[in-house]
Amino acid sequence: MSFLEYAPAPESRAILSLREQYGLFIDGQFVDGRGTPFQTISPATEERLATVASANDADVDVAVAAARRAYDRIWSRMSGRDRGKYLFRIARLVQERARELAVAESLDNGKPIKESRDVDVPLVAAWFFYYAGWADKLDHAGLGANPRALGVAAQVIPWNFPLLMLAWKIAPALAAGNTVVLKPAETTPLSALIFAEILQQAELPPGVVNIITGAGDTGAALVSHDGVDKVAFTGSTAVGRAIAKQVAGTDKKVTLELGGKAANIVFDDAPIDQAIEGIVNGIFFNQGHVCCAGSRLLVQENVHDEVVERLKLRLATLRMGDPLDKNTDIGAINSREQLERIRELSDVGVAEGAERWSAPCEIPENGFWYAPTIFTNVQTSSRIAREEIFGPVLSVLTFRTPAEAIAKANNTPYGLSAGIWTDKGSRILAVADQLRAGVVWANTFNRFDPASPFGGYKESGYGREGGRHGLAAYLAPTAIGQSAEPHRVAPGTHVPIESADPAAASETHSDARSEPRPATTKKGGAK
Amino acid sequence: MSGTSLVTARERALAVLGGEPDDATLRRYLHGIAGVDAVGLEQRAAGLGTRSIKTTSKRRALDTIISLIDLTTLEGADTPGKVRSLVAKAVNPDPADATTPRVAAVCVYGDMVPFAVDALGAAHGDPDAGLISVAAVATAFPSGRASLDVKLADTAEAVAAGADEIDMVIDRGAFLAGRYGLVFDQIAAVKEACRRPDGSSASLKVILETGELATYDNVRRASWLAILAGGDFIKTSTGKVQPAATLPVTLLMLEVVRDWHLATGQRIGVKPAGGIRASKDAIKYLVTVAETVGEEWLQPHLFRFGASSLLNDVLLQRQKMSTGHYSGADYVTID
Amino acid sequence: MSRLAVPKTYKLYIGGAFPRSESGRTYEVVSSSGAFLANAAKASRKDARDAIVAARAAVPAWAGATAYNRGQVLYRIAELLEGRRGQFIAEIEEAEGVSRAAASAQVDESVDRWVWYAGWSDKFAQVAGNANPVAGPYFNISVPEPTGVVAIVAPQDSSLLGLVSAVAPALVAGNAVVVVASERFPLSAISLAEVLATSDVPKGVVNVLTGAPAEIAPWLASHADVNALDLVGAADLDWISLEIEAADTLKRVLRPESGPDAAAPALGRISAFTETKTVWHTKSLR
């Protein structure tokens, strides 16, 4: 056996005891769903992991009502300090059960355990720690004194970082004083359901967080529900667009974190070995199931061949296989459907005349797998250079000058992220200035931190998650002359929160010094 | 090992540099090499460090580590007795287990070479043949602050006394002052001093003392410089300066070696030295070698650990794997 | 014997020029008492398109100008407006049928808003941006940047103040603007365009269309090269459809506001048309 093959080093599944069946988590308890239950499988083996309830419209009603009750009676009346304490509790519990969560995540999602263990779950805990501290400091969030919570937040999250996206959504929402109904992705519900158990251990008041599982129609019912004040969605641009249309004319505040086709720009003076790592991390991290993945490599033409050669050498050392093996670099594609999509677009790339090269990986017999692949001779007009593949597929393009690199990088309807690799400081800053992307990584890639805002320009969505800016997605400024605590309403006296008549806009907007009414939550720091 | 002849090394350097290896030419060349982003380098090293080596792989790794150790004593208090003890340990690391491989070499001060050679006796020779080499530190180790004549005499004397390998130090002061030509010439001269009368040559390990070079860009440039000047190995540290060997520095030096191999086809060795005490850490180095330059480098002529206490930790791990329970310090010999 | 006046021809303001509508259409603008005041250009979808093209072309230089420079340019508008105070007062008095005092107040407030927003241009990034203390060896900073081209349906019930209140904040961060003026009170909008044209505002940074918002706004809402849509003055339009159209390219949308002081001064009006960009860079001494 070659040394590089290593012996199997599987993380033990013993730490995780999955239930046979999971219900919906509503009002602090697991309850049966009225939709048709579905199975969640391991994409690495296609083994069935658990049966999961599906929420129908009536279940969505119940969940939203529970969130509303919890908002009116408990959460909106609780001090920020106590809300913060609950979030701190949750953060600690996530740390305590970190390994279990990591195993569940890798099983259900297919991502390598080293990523769920070293990236996803630690960030989940960090996210709750970060926003826990904000809960009693909202006056300093940049929205003026006494910013108001929005009410009930409907949150729909994707399958690529199931638990991390949950944390990105729930932590700021609760810190800001909102209650939540969250729907995890159909293919990856498990970590969210274990998280529900954590909420029980934290003794979070019932109804403050409700987790309902189901497919797209469950999500659609949730975001269009009349009883929600806020919609937060992470997922495809197509669905985000549909949501934006759905909420048009309502008073729902919306944040959308959508697709991307990030340019990773490598100049000829780049720190080459780190750039290679950055390219690998940029597109092959999490099997490329990353909205901010550096899927378009823009490499200066005079170093193209060298970069591609080094990249191929490096890719040959990547280990694909059992997501629970600690030495696995590339796990399974999350679903058959996604695998088909990756294959289809890759075939398009070949048909368009690009050259495909795939790392020499052994493909396991069962499960969904796609070897790390790079396309060279890709033109800006190629579909694989324009459409989000959401898989381990890199398109390599070239440029000659900084201006051309910027022009090509910006030539996309997306604008989520970008990378710059060069040793020249002034160039980094100037290029970063001109890139139309919400996150720019210079001489690094795919770094995340709860203190750092994340979100896109253009069709990559609106609003930011993370940092002080992330709070703005869940708060409204209190206008001058308005009660600082408008939401301290008596239980059961829920005020309708939406109106199609703009003239009858809520009292918030009648004041002469009110804030504008964004249909879309913009960056924070307003006011 | 015969090493590369000086003439060839110099010719190759001239070809690579496109001119005489003077300060200006070397500066143009070394400063034209792509920079190193420290954070990215350290992250890559940390990532390699997370490889989990189990069961059969671990057993192989432990034996490989032993076979790559330069078992070292470099103290002012070294005596012939200490060196004999070290040699005994090198020849027979675990008296309780005859399957234990021997180390690659013993590494001593120049004046201790005769005692090492004497103690090794028939066990003295090429590690590829299951024998043990004698490595001598030279050139006014560890500071290198002496005249070139002294350094050359130091080297020649060790080689004459039977040293198979010379671990020289570069003049870090000259390097940091930008006098690359001087550093080049000294390495080349020491290389020449490694020659034996029969035309063969002791292998030359060039110690960069990366802890004093401070930046990764300097380490990369010094690595290229040492290779251009004819070094057979590049070595991180004397062990007398902190930080000594680190995984990121070693990774960086391996990347230079890989690039040199891609460019010239020549294989240069790498020796991290100082500070590697635990098997777990040493395994990370093996992983780094395997995933950077390839497993081919995991052989005594291309990779060494400069270490002393590492050996015993590996032996403890080895015993654990054999017996199934954890061993204790009294079950391995000191030295 | 009184002198025979020379009336002004009111045209559109696109790319720094004053063209007639490409459609050749005009519409009658009448005073509050119904008297004919002027024929205003009735912009078509092609005029809207041309305005967007001009705005897009103006973005890089305007966004790339220093914040100090943008502040000076915006302040210069206030200076010139102040200098033509009398003209605007008379125009508003006549068009809106309000008292001279009311017209004066509107003009004065308009001037003051330019001044207020001018002062923000080199400050709002300090308020809306910040360094982020991430847990790693990185320099990390978030800064607001202009979103690009902002299309505005100006408040419909004032001649000048609503227009200024909507346009000025969008310019602060470096956006270029296409604004549809009040349908009923379009004349001051074109007079303001004359102020802009003779100030230091680069051509194309502000483009003013007059005509029927109900006709023009859908083209702005659906145009793929518009980044944000401010519907502040669109309350009487089918603005929900506009918001739905805008969602096709995920434009940033501000919903209608009503009342005498729609688009009141607020930092939120500036940041609504910005994008937070977060830049990471490694840091190390090694």
pLDDT of residue B10: 83
Contacts of A480 (CB under 8 A, 6+ apart): A511, A513
Q: What number of residues does chain C have?
A: 286
What 8-state DSSP symbol labels residue A450? T
| pLDDT > 70 in chain A, percent | 91
C10 CA: distance to closest CA in chain A (Å): 31
Pairing of strands C274-282, C138-146: antiparallel
The answer to whether the CB atoms of C286 and B37 lie below 8 A apart is: no
DSSP label at residue A392: S
Per-window interface: C 255-274 vs A, CB < 8 A: 255-261, 263-269, 271-274
Joined together, the tokens standing for residue C221 give 């809402």
Query: What pTM value is reported for the model?
Result: 0.94
Tens-place pLDDT, residues A324-358: 999 999 999 999 999 999 999 999 999 999 999 99
At residue A230, does pLDDT exceed 60?
Answer: yes
Residues above pLDDT 70, as percent of chain B: 98
Both structure tokens of C117: 């927003």
Residue A1: pLDDT over 60: no
Active site residues of B: 167, 235, 271
What confidence score (pLDDT) does residue A518 get? 54
Examine the pLDDT at A232 and tell me if it is beyond 60.
yes
Whole-angstrom Cα distance, residue A284 to residue B102? 41
A/C interface, count of CB pairs below 8 Å = 184
- The nearest alpha carbon in chain B to A1 belongs to B57
Task: Report which residue type is found at A500.
Answer: A
pLDDT average, residue stretch A356-383: 96
φ/ψ region of B55 (left if φ > 0, alpha if ψ in -120 to 50, else beta) reads left
Specify the residue for token string 């076979």. Answer: B67
pLDDT of residue A461: 97
Q: d(Cα A371, Cα A360) in Å, to the nearest integer? A: 8
Q: What is the mean pLDDT of residues C89-95?
A: 97
Given a contact as 3+ CB pairs under 8 Å, which chains touch C? A, B
The single-letter code of the amino acid at A295 is S
Per the document, the length of chain A is 527
Enumerate the residues of chain A whose CB falls inside 8 A of the CB of residue C138: 444, 447
Nearest CA in chain C to A459: C250
The model's confidence at residue A463, banded by pLDDT at 50, 70 and 90, is very high
Beta strands A24-26 and A253-257, pairing class: unpaired
Report helix, strand or coil for C261.
coil
Averaged pLDDT for residues A104-132: 98
* Residues β-bridged to residue A397: A298
C73 — phi, psi (to 5°)? -65, -45
Give the pLDDT score at A489: 35
Q: What values do phi and psi take at C267, rounded to 5?
A: -65, -30
Q: What rounded mean pLDDT belongs to chain C?
A: 97
Between CA A233 and CA A246 the distance in angstroms is 13
Give the tens place of pLDDT for each residue, B298-321: 999 999 999 999 999 999 999 999
CA distances to A378, B70, C107, C160, C231 from C91, rounded to whole Å, are: 59, 94, 10, 10, 25
C233 contact partners, CB below 8 Å, separation of at least 6: C152, C153, C154, C155, C156, C162, C166, C180, C182, C213, C256, C262
B286 touches chain A (CB under 8 A): yes
pLDDT tens for each residue of B123-148? 999 999 999 999 999 999 999 999 99
Which pLDDT band, with edges at 50, 70 and 90, does C261 fall under? confident
For chain C, count helices (H), then strands (E). Answer: 10, 10
Answer whether A457 touches C (CB < 8 Å): yes
Q: Which residue in A440, A454, A525 is closest to C144 by CB distance?
A: A525
Determine the pLDDT at residue A5.
Answer: 82
Q: Tokens for C62, please give them.
A: 């305007």
Backbone dihedral angles phi then psi of residue C177, each to the nearest 5 degrees: -125, 140
Best mutation site among C152, C250, C284 for testing chain A: the one with the most A CBs within 10 Å?
A: C250
C138:B40 CB<8 A: no
The C-alpha of C27 sits at a distance from chain A's nearest C-alpha, in angstroms, of 28
Query: Are the Cβ atoms of A525 and C127 closer than 8 angstroms?
Result: yes
| Pairwise CA distance, residues C48 & C53, whole Å | 9
**A442 contacts C281 by C-beta, under 8 angstroms:** yes
3-state helix, strand, coil in chain C (%, to 5): 45, 20, 40
Residues of A in contact with B34 (CB under 8 A): 269-273, 423
Q: Which of A439, A452, A509 to mutate to test the interface with C (most CBs of C within 10 A)?
A: A452
Residue C66, burial from CB neighbour count under 10 angstroms (0-12, 13-18, 19+): exposed
Contact A142 C127 (CB under 8 A): yes
> Which residue would you say has higher pLDDT here, A361 or A210?
A210
Among B36, B37, B39, B252, which would you mutate to test the C interface (most chain C Cβ atoms within 10 Å of its Cβ)? B39
For residues B74 and B240, give the distance between their C-alpha atoms in angstroms, rounded to a whole number. Answer: 9
Q: Which of A2, A5, A277 shows the shortest C-beta gap to B40?
A: A277
Please tell me chain A's helix, strand, coil percentages from 3-state DSSP, rounded to the nearest 5. 40, 15, 45
CA distance A236 to A271: 33
Query: What pLDDT does residue A2 have?
Result: 74
Average pLDDT, stretch A276-297? Answer: 97
Chain B partners within 8 Å of A4 (Cβ) = 290-291, 295
Residues of C in contact with A500 (CB under 8 A): 240
The answer on pLDDT for A520 being more than 70 is no
Handedness of CA A183, A187, A191, A194 (dihedral sign): positive
CB–CB contact A462 C252 (8 Å): yes
C66 vs A: CB within 8 A: no
C-alpha–C-alpha distance, residues B157 and B138, integer Å: 9
ipTM: 0.95
* Cβ distance of C281 and A428 shorter than 8 Å: yes
**Cβ–Cβ gap A273/B255 under 8 Å:** yes
| Interface residue B291 vs chain A (CB under 8 A) | yes
Average pLDDT over residues A118-130: 98
CA–CA distance, A189 with A105 (Å, rounded to integer): 9
Res B220: pLDDT: 98
Mean pLDDT of the A160-168 span: 98
- CA-closest candidate to residue A368, choices A392, A394, A334: A334
Instruction: List Cα–Cα distances, B231 to A328, A511, B201, C230, in angstroms.
Output: 37, 78, 12, 69
Of B39, B214, B215, the CB nearest to C282: B39
Of the candidates A291, A388, A459, A465, the residue annotated as catalytic is A291
Q: Omega of the bond prior to B142 within 30 degrees of 0, cis?
A: yes
Residues from chain B contacting residue A443 (CB–CB below 8 Å): 37, 39-40
Which residues in C lie closer than 8 A to residue B214 (C-beta atoms)?
Answer: 285-286
Residue A508 has pLDDT above 50, yes or no: no
Residue to substitute from A449, A459, A513, interface C, most C β-carbons within 10 A:
A449
Strands A179-183 and A152-156: parallel
Q: What is the DSSP string of A336-382?
A: HHHHHHHHHHHHHHHHTTPEEEE---PPPSSS-----EEEES--TTS
Catalytic residue among A115, A257, A388, A459: A257
Per-residue confidence (pLDDT) for residue A90, from 0 to 100: 98
Which tokens hold the place of A140? 């300093």
Tell me if chain B has a CB within 8 Å of the CB of A4: yes
What's the per-residue H, E or C state across chain B?
A: CCCCCHHHHHHHHHHHHCCCCCHHHHHHHHCCCCCCCHHHHHHHHHHHCCCCCCHHHHHHHHHHHHHCEEEECCCCCCCHHHHHHHHHHHHCCCCCCCCCCCCCEEEEEHHHHHHHHHHHHHHECCHHHCCEEEEEECCCCCCCCCCHHHHHHHHHHHHHCCCCEEEEECCHHHHHCCCHHHHHHHHHHHHHHCECCCCCECEEEEECCHHHHCCHHHHHHHHHHHHHCCCCEEECCCCCCCCCCCHHHHHHHHHHHHHHHHHHCCCCEEECECCCCCHHHHHHHHHHHHHHCCHHHCCCCCECEEECHHHHHHHHHHHHHHHCCCCCHHHCCCC
pLDDT in tens, A473-499: 999 988 654 443 433 333 333 333 333
Each residue's pLDDT tens digit, A29-64: 999 999 999 999 999 999 999 999 999 999 999 999
Q: What is the mean pLDDT of chain B?
A: 95
Reported as a single tens digit per residue, the pLDDT across C172-207 is: 999 999 999 999 999 999 999 999 999 999 999 999
- Closest CB from A4, A8, A271 relative to B291: A4
Confidence of residue A515 (pLDDT cuts 50, 70, 90): low
**C264 — phi, psi (to 5°)?**
-60, 155
What pLDDT sits at residue B41? 98
Band of pLDDT at residue B334, cut at 50, 70 and 90: confident
Residue A517 pLDDT level (bands cut at 50, 70, 90): low
| Residue C246 to residues A241, B143, C61, C233, C239, Cα–Cα distance (Å) | 9, 71, 26, 16, 10
Does residue A506 register a pLDDT over 60?
A: no
Of A443, A464, A515, the CB nearest to C266: A515
Reported as a single tens digit per residue, the pLDDT across B234-258 is 999 999 999 999 999 999 999 999 9
pLDDT of residue A495: 36
